[in-house]
Structure formats: structure tokens, C-alpha cells
Amino acid sequence: MNKIKGVKKISGEKDDIEKLNQIINLCRDNYNIAHDKTYSLAKSGIEICEKLSLSAEKNILETYLAFFLWHNNEPQKALSIIYSISEKLLANKNYLEFSLGVIITSLIEWAKGEVELAFNTINQAFEELKNKENTKVAIIRLNWNLGVFYFDLDEIEDSLRHYQLSKNSLDHETDFSVVAYINIGLATVYKKKLELEKAEKLFEEILVYSQTNNIWMVEARSYHELGMLEQLKENFDKAYSLFSKSYEIRLANNARPAIVTSLISMAQIDIVKKNFSNAEIKLLQALEISKEKNLKPKTSILMLQLSGIKEEQFKHKESLFYLKKHYELEKELKNVVKNNKNAYLQLTYKVQKTAKELEREKELSLLKTSFVSTASHQFRTPLAVIQSNTELLLMLLSKIDNHELERVKKVTGRITGQIAKMTELMDEVLILGKLTSGNVHYEAKELNLVEFCNILIQQFNAIQEDGRILEFKIIGETYRVKLDSKLLGHTLTNLISNAFKYSVGKENPELSIHFKAKEVILSVKDYGIGISKNEQLHLFEPFYRADNATDIKGTGLGLSIAKEYVEINRGNILVKSILGEGSCFEIIFKR
């Protein structure tokens, strides 16, 4: 099917056309196995097409060019090619390339969070192919694609159904890589359903299949997956040797992103075996590739692992550096995943999670919390040692003359100050860890807000060294509100201490409660340094600090914690501010 037909063979062009024919067949067979080769083949084929004005064949080859670009991390270019040729492919009955184009565009849109568009692209393609001949492979591909989407959404049964639909239609005509990827999809579903033996058996079959048919990408992937299954069984040596096999194949074929995956897995085993320096070498190598290829999810994992290793090596500063990068990336990435799921839920009005999935999520979050809390606690031990030694030093030195003693006190004062800062940072990282893993206790009770705020205000006013106080205003008829007082207390404490901290030398800050008919608004207002419009967008991100705050002490974590706490309390937080004039943070709770 899809051989070049109906091309007039004018003398002199015969060789070119034969060559073009060969090129197209080679692209069809190799696009998924030899990317670089397919790219140069497609390029040279397109040149021939242009010379001979063969537009249908040119479109075919452009599809493979787009596939290459997509794999080469140039999705935008790939998209614009496919969008411009898709209709022509369909009109020319080149369904093989048409369906490949659909896969490319829908997966790219998916990665951007365009869930509805991605689903629509596929459904529309199903419609277009209805009642047409020679569409079997195309339909198989589309079903595979749906399998991938549902898997991504954790809708495992739907994923399984679509993979099976495509598998059931396979025949000897289907190209090797499609067969292999459908089986990989199925085996991954089994793995997710914890049917590990079934998964292992299928991966072993895929391995043999890929070796017989020379599909190195699939061979490497199978070794890797089998390695992961051994790792689950805690057969670490066996797992390591499978990972290395996968790594060797990927290295030999210069499959850069996949090399990262192998290196991460091998490093994980090194870590289990406490070979930290070996692990570090692998991870740094992987990090270089990830950065070069802009692989954010991988980079994020690498940052977390490097942070753990640095912690083991007592290099706390570096550990914290990596941890911070990890958090920044996670925040960015979580949004894409969250958005896809949310968009999907809206699309289908489905809200359901199986007990098993919930269990898995719980396990994962437990892992995360335990890492963060171990890291934070371990930071504290050396800090306590430094603190007590500083005090000891001061005692020992108390015999020297007064002038010298003053100088020593200055130095130890600086040390103690930094220790306090570090301890505060650790406390906040610990809270953040609890938050990201969803382990925060929430218990709402009817609360008298006025009384609650009065106590808080007294505490604040008692500790101000510059004589300022917090003004208090109540607007509207008071009523009781159902809230978790601990979370609210922590949130307000942060906002109020910021208000004092960022408005030194200015008027008193104010706390007001506005009791409205349907909602209550708590606002903390100051007349201090303010925040620029641009920076307001980032204030609630962990570790973010505005430019004008650099000379004022802080960690950049308080507001991100405050925001999470407000949201757990079912409220919203927002900021209004003018640079140089002051800021007002508002928390809004529905009545």
C-alpha cells in the first residue's frame, strides 16, 4: 500500500523516482529506529520531490521529518509541518502518514496540557477514516494513542481496553515498531496493576521480538523495564546488570534522553549499595544531558537524587541547592500533570479514584515526606553542634581582655545568627515537605475570629522593639466561621510578621476583618516597601524573594506555606500592592 502510483516516468527521471520509492520505504521502516538516518533520507527525498514537483510524496516525507523534529525536542516546528500537510495526506489516501501525523500532533498538544484538543484530534481522525479502505494500521495507531492518554490519566482500565483493541487488530502487515509499542503499553499497564509476573513475561517476549527484528530502542527499553521489575524484587545485582545492558545499547545509538533514564536507574542501585561517589558521577553525567536537551522531569529527579547524595556526604549547602532546584521544577511540572487531569475530569465529568491508586499515591507521598524530614532533621544535628561549640568557645575565651572579648563576641554573634536563620529555613522546608505530600492535619471548628485575632495581636504588639503596634479594624456584623485555627494562626502570623518586617520606619500596619453577607475577608495591610506588579505573580512560589527584599532577612518560604494553608482551609489568598507605597494581603473564606 502507498507505493508511488501514477507518476509519469519521463526519461531521465526514472532513476530519481526509483530512488524516491526506496527512500519512502526506508523512512517507513526506520523512522522509529534510526532517527538521524531517517532525517537525512527524508531531506534528500524532499529535494527529489521538489525537482520533479511531486507534492503527495513530499508530504509523506515531511511527516517523517516532523517525527524527527518532535524527537529532537523541536515540537513547534513538528506541529506546524503536520498542521499544514494533514489534510493533503488524507486526500491522497496516505493513511499511514496521516495517522502518524495525528499521533505526533496529539502527543505534543497533550504535553502542553491541551487535553481536549488532543482527544478531539484523535476522535476526528477516527471519523475521517470511517468507511475507508486500507485504514487498518492507522486505526491500530490511533487506538494505541488513546491507550497512552488514558494511561497518563491513570484511567488504567480504559488504557488497557484501547491497547487491547489495537493488539487484536495486529497482523503480519503491521510494522515492527507499532507491534512493539503496543506490547510495551500493555506490559506497562500490567506493571501498574501490579500484575508483575504478567508484565515480566510480556517484557521478555518483547525483548526477544526486538532482538529478532533489530529494534534497538525497544530492546533497550525491555532491558530497562525488566531491570525495574528486578529492582522491585530487590534483586539489585540483576537489576544493575539489566540497566547496564540497556545503557550500553542506548549509548551505542547515542539516544541521549534515554541514556539519562538508564543512568538514573543505575545510580539508584549505586545509592542502595551506598556507592555514593559512583552514583554522583552517573547523575552529573545525566544532568548534563538533561539540561542540554531541556528534559525537565528528568532534571527534577536528578536534583532530588543529587541532593540526597550531598546530604550523605555532609555537604549541606550543596544538598540544599539541589533540593531548591528540585522544588522549583516540581512546582512547574506538577502544574502540567494537574492541568491535564483537571481538564480531563471536566471533559468527562468523571471523578473517581480506585482504592489502589490512592494507596499508591499515599506511598509516594510518604516517601517524599520521609526524605524531606530526614534531610531537615539531619541538618539540625550539625547546627546544634556548631551552636554549642560557639557557646563553649565564648566560655573559654572569657579570660582574655575585654577588647578582644568584644571582637570574639561579634564573631560568635554572627555564627549564632546564621544558625538561627538556617534552623528557620529547615523548619519551613519541613512544613513544605508535609504540604507537598498532603500530610497536613486539618480540623475545622466554629471560631470567634475577633477573639482569635485579638490574642494574636497582643502577642505581636508585645515583641515589637520599635514601638509600633498592629491596628485592628472590624467591619460588618460579626459571626462565627468554621476554620482550622492552627492553619489560620500560622497564615496570619506569617502575613503580620511580613507586614512589620517590610515596613520598618513607616506607619503602623493594620489587620482588618470584614464580615460580609457571603464571605469574610481578613486583610493585613502595611505602608512599607511594596512589591512590583511583575514580582507579585511569583510571590507564592517557594524560595521566591522580590528584588527589594534582599537586604531584609527571610527565606522566601513563608508565603508559599501560607497559600497552601489558606487553600487547605478552603479559602483564597491574594495580594494588592504598589511598589514603594505598601502591600495588602487578603484572605477570603466563604461563609
Of the candidates 562, 570, 587, the one whose C-alpha atom is nearest the C-alpha of residue 483 is: 570
CB of 502 to ligand ADP, least distance (A): 3
Piece of 29-37, 210-218, 454-462, 537-545 that binds ligand ADP (CB under 6 A): 537-545
Angle, CA of 359, 361 and 362, to the nearest 5°? 65
Q: What angle do CA 2, 169, 78 make, to 5 degrees?
A: 50
Contacts of 268 (CB under 8 A, 6+ apart): 231, 279, 305
Spatial distance between the Cα atoms of 528 and 585, rounded to a whole number of angstroms: 13
- Does 586 help bind ligand ADP (rule: CB under 6 A)? no
Choice between 101 and 554, CB closer to ligand ADP: 554
Q: Which is nearer to ligand ADP, 343 or 431 (CB)?
A: 431
Is residue 48 a contact residue for ligand ADP (CB under 6 A)?
no
Determine the length of the chain. 591
Site string for ligand ADP, 458-497 (x = CB under 6 A): ------------------------------------x---
Q: Does 531 bind ligand ADP (CB under 6 A)?
A: yes
Is position 523 an interface residue for ligand ADP (rule: CB under 6 A)? Answer: no
Residue from 136, 315, 324, 545 that binds ligand ADP (CB under 6 A)?
Answer: 545
Q: With binding defined as CB under 6 A, does residue 33 bind ligand ADP?
A: no
Q: Residue 154 or 424: which CB sits closer to ligand ADP?
A: 424
- 8 A C-beta contact, residue 425 and residue 555: yes
Q: Which is nearer to ligand ADP, 311 or 526 (CB)?
A: 526
Beta carbon of residue 453, minimum distance to ligand ADP (angstroms, whole number): 17
Amino acid making up residue 282: K
- Say how many C-beta atoms besides its own lie within 10 A of residue 239's C-beta: 24
431 binds ligand ADP (CB under 6 A): no
**Site map for ligand ADP, 298-337, x if CB under 6 A?**
----------------------------------------
Helix (H, G, I), strand (E, B) or coil at 584: strand
In the list 559, 566, 573, 587, the residue contacting ligand ADP (rule: CB under 6 A) is 559
- Helix, strand, or coil here: 270? helix
Q: Does 435 bind ligand ADP (CB under 6 A)?
A: no
432 binds ligand ADP (CB under 6 A): no
| Residues paired with 582 in a beta bridge | 578
CB of 587 to ligand ADP, least distance (A): 13
CA-to-CA dists, residue 126 to 69, 121, 143, 250, 546, angstroms: 25, 9, 9, 35, 51
Task: Please give the grid coordinates belonging to residue 540.
Answer: 507564592
Of 270-278, 392-400, 443-451, 521-529, the segment contacting ligand ADP by CB under 6 A is 521-529
Cα–Cα distance for residue pair 582/550, rounded to 1 Å: 17
Query: Which residues of the shown chain bind ligand ADP in the complex (CB under 6 A)?
Result: 494, 498-499, 502, 526, 528-531, 539, 544-546, 549, 554-560, 583
